[in-house]
């Protein structure tokens, strides 16, 4: 085999953790670990939702050989040179896993490489891209028939977590201790309200069911000191909105004013931990896809104690809500509109086209959400019904392997 380069283009934290990770693993399994024959590079483009840690996360993947941070992206796109003046082999493939679909067109042209684009909902530049790996057949419905042979349905990359072997909670002994995972988000727009709300809910549940255990699996883009600032009334005024008195760090636990201990877990991915949960409290995002793929019941929380607080919407709404000066006004307008016209936001619900996991949007109160959780814990048949629907909605796994096979075809 002629030595080849595989260049992966990606951007945000969700893409790097739920798309890039399974794909590079699948590529190594299919093409081998001989770096003199197959070299994998990751170049990140700027993303409004980025945490700044995406490059270090990509570097942590043993399958990856080189990573370039987003601040150097534009010079590479325009001039074709990386910050460290990387060399490129004569043969290769550009794999798009996040960003703008025009990027692989331009970069593939500059390097003389084939291009493979992973498309969730929309595929563009049909005449310039060599292959499209699409999530669902619906993506190709408006494509000209002359490009149809470029499209292959591979499935949803976010479903790779479904490969984890999970035993249904109903098989556990009745005396088991319920474990609840708290996933308040990874960016400040969600953490500001998500941390005090989920901790206040946990306090309420623990008061009624003291045997219940709680933990927070930290996102790879979030560190403990940052998390603590959102649990401290001195640095986060939103704690008052949920009557949350704060928490401190003791032996890797968040200990709240009521004495509740919430263990912090930093391993990633935390699939084996999440799969043991009776239920999780989460915000919207890629985490709902991972929980859905694992078959873990959840309540999806979108607190809006102040209309200008929620600024983490995707696409144009997110950009407008975060504009300097005018962002607060846009955020209020967008969030008011979302509250009135909300569609399905959690990934399992989008897959199923029905609300199989509750999406709670509005001025949420810990007691009300806590009572919903208690009702589910006290009626395990409701949780089992949710698990069954999640398993039915998640579809088949193997998207990463199918995408890797497309890349191999383009290398031959």
285: burial class by Cβ within 10 Å (0-12, 13-18, 19+)? buried
Give the pLDDT confidence of 315-328 residue by residue, as tens digits: 554 554 455 655 55
- Looking at residue 308, its pLDDT comes to 46
Report the distance separating Cα 300 and Cα 285, nearest Å: 10
φ and ψ at 359, to 5 degrees?
Answer: -110, 115
Asked if 263 contacts 181 with a C-beta cutoff of 8 angstroms, the reply is: no
Give pLDDT, residue 174. Answer: 45
User: CB 242: neighbour CB atoms within 10 A?
Assistant: 22
- Decide if pLDDT at 383 tops 90: yes
244: pLDDT strictly greater than 60? yes
> Which string of DSSP letters, residue by residue, matches 237-284?
GGGGGGT---EEEETTEEEETT--EEEEE--SS-HHHHTT-SEEEE-S
How would you class 41 by CB atoms within 10 Å of its CB: exposed for 0-12, middle for 13-18, buried for 19 or more?
Answer: buried
* pLDDT at residue 160 greater than cutoff 70: no
Give percent of the chain above pLDDT 70.
86
Answer whether 245's CB lies under 8 Å from 233's CB.
Answer: yes
**Is residue 126 within 8 Å of 133, Cβ to Cβ?**
no
The two structure tokens encoding residue 120? 């969730």
Express each pLDDT in 175-204 by its tens digit.
Answer: 468 999 999 988 887 899 999 999 999 999
Helix (H, G, I), strand (E, B) or coil at 288: helix
Q: How many residues does the chain have?
A: 412
Please check whether the two domains, 4-155+397-411 and 169-393, share a CATH topology: yes
Mode of pairing for the β-strands spanning 66-68 and 91-96:
unpaired
Tell me the CATH number for domain 169-393: 3.40.50.2000
Among 216-220, 279-283, 389-393, name the most confident range.
Answer: 279-283
pTM: 0.71
Tell me, what's the pLDDT at 175? 46
CATH number (3.20.20.140, 1.10.3720.10, 3.40.640.10, 3.40.50.2000) of 4-155+397-411 reads 3.40.50.2000
Least confidently predicted of 111-120, 258-267, 303-312, 362-371: 303-312
Stretch among 57-61, 82-86, 137-141, 175-179 having the lowest mean pLDDT: 175-179
393, 307, 319, 412: which is closest to 354 by C-alpha?
Answer: 393
**Residues in Cβ contact with 373 at an 8 Å cutoff, skipping those fewer than 6 apart:** 180, 201, 205, 279, 281, 299
pLDDT (0 to 100) of residue 115: 98
CA pair distance 257, 95, nearest whole angstrom: 49
User: CB-hemisphere CA count at 13 Å for 178?
Assistant: 22
201-218: pLDDT as tens digits: 999 999 999 999 999 999
DSSP 379-392: -HHHHHHHHHHHHH
Task: Give residue 319's pLDDT.
Answer: 53
CA distances from 229 to 69, 102, 225, 255 (A): 27, 39, 7, 14
Domain boundaries, the chain: 4-155+397-411, 169-393
Whether cis (ω within 30° of 0) applies to the bond prior to 269 is yes
Write the pLDDT tens digit of every residue in 28-77: 999 999 999 999 999 999 987 777 889 999 999 999 999 999 999 999 99
Bridge partners of 43?
A: 9, 68
Binning the chain into helix, strand and coil, the percentages to the nearest 5 are 45, 20, 40
User: Where in 11-120 does DSSP place strands (E)?
Assistant: 38-44, 66-68, 91-96, 114-119
Q: For 91-118, what is the mean pLDDT? A: 96
């Amino acid at each position: 085999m002629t030595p080849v380069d595989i260049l992966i283009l990606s951007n945000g934290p969700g893409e790097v953790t739920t798309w890039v990770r399974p794909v590079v693993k699948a590529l190594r399994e299919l093409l081998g670990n001989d770096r003199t024959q197959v070299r994998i590079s990751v170049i990140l483009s700027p993303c409004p939702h980025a945490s700044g840690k995406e490059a270090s996360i990509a570097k942590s993947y043993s399958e990856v050989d080189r990573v370039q941070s987003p601040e150097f992206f534009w010079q590479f796109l325009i001039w074709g040179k990386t910050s460290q003046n990387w060399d490129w082999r004569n043969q290769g493939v550009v794999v798009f896993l996040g960003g703008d679909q025009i990027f692989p067109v331009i970069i593939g042209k500059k390097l003389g490489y084939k291009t493979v684009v992973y498309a969730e909902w929309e595929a563009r530049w049909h005449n310039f891209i060599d292959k499209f790996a699409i999530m669902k057949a619906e993506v190709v419905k408006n494509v000209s028939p002359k490009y149809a042979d470029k499209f292959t349905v591979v499935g949803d990359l976010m479903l790779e977590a479904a490969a984890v072997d999970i035993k249904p909670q109903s098989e556990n002994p009745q005396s088991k201790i319920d474990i609840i995972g708290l996933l308040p988000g990874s960016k400040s727009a969600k953490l500001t309200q998500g941390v005090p709300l989920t901790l206040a809910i946990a306090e309420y549940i623990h008061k009624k069911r003291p045997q219940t255990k709680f933990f927070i699996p930290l996102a790879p883009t979030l560190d403990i000191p940052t998390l603590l600032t959102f649990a401290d009334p001195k640095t986060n005024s939103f704690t008052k909105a949920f009557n949350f008195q704060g928490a401190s760090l003791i032996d890797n636990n968040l200990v709240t004013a009521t004495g509740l201990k919430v263990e912090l877990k930093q391993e990633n991915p935390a699939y084996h931990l999440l799969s043991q949960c009776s239920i999780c409290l989460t915000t919207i995002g890629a985490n709902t896809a991972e929980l859905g793929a694992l078959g873990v019941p959840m309540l999806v929380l979108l607190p809006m104690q102040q209309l200008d607080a929620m600024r983490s919407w995707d696409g144009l709404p997110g950009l407008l809500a975060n504009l300097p000066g005018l962002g607060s006004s846009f955020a209020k307008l967008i969030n008011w509109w979302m509250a009135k016209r909300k569609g399905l936001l959690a990934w399992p619900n989008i897959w199923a086209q029905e609300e199989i996991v509750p999406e709670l949007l509005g001025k949420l109160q810990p007691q009300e959400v806590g009572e919903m959780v208690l009702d589910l814990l006290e009626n395990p048949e409701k949780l089992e019904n949710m698990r069954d629907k999640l398993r039915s909605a998640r579809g088949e796994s193997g998207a990463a392997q199918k995408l890797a096979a497309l890349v191999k075809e383009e290398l031959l």
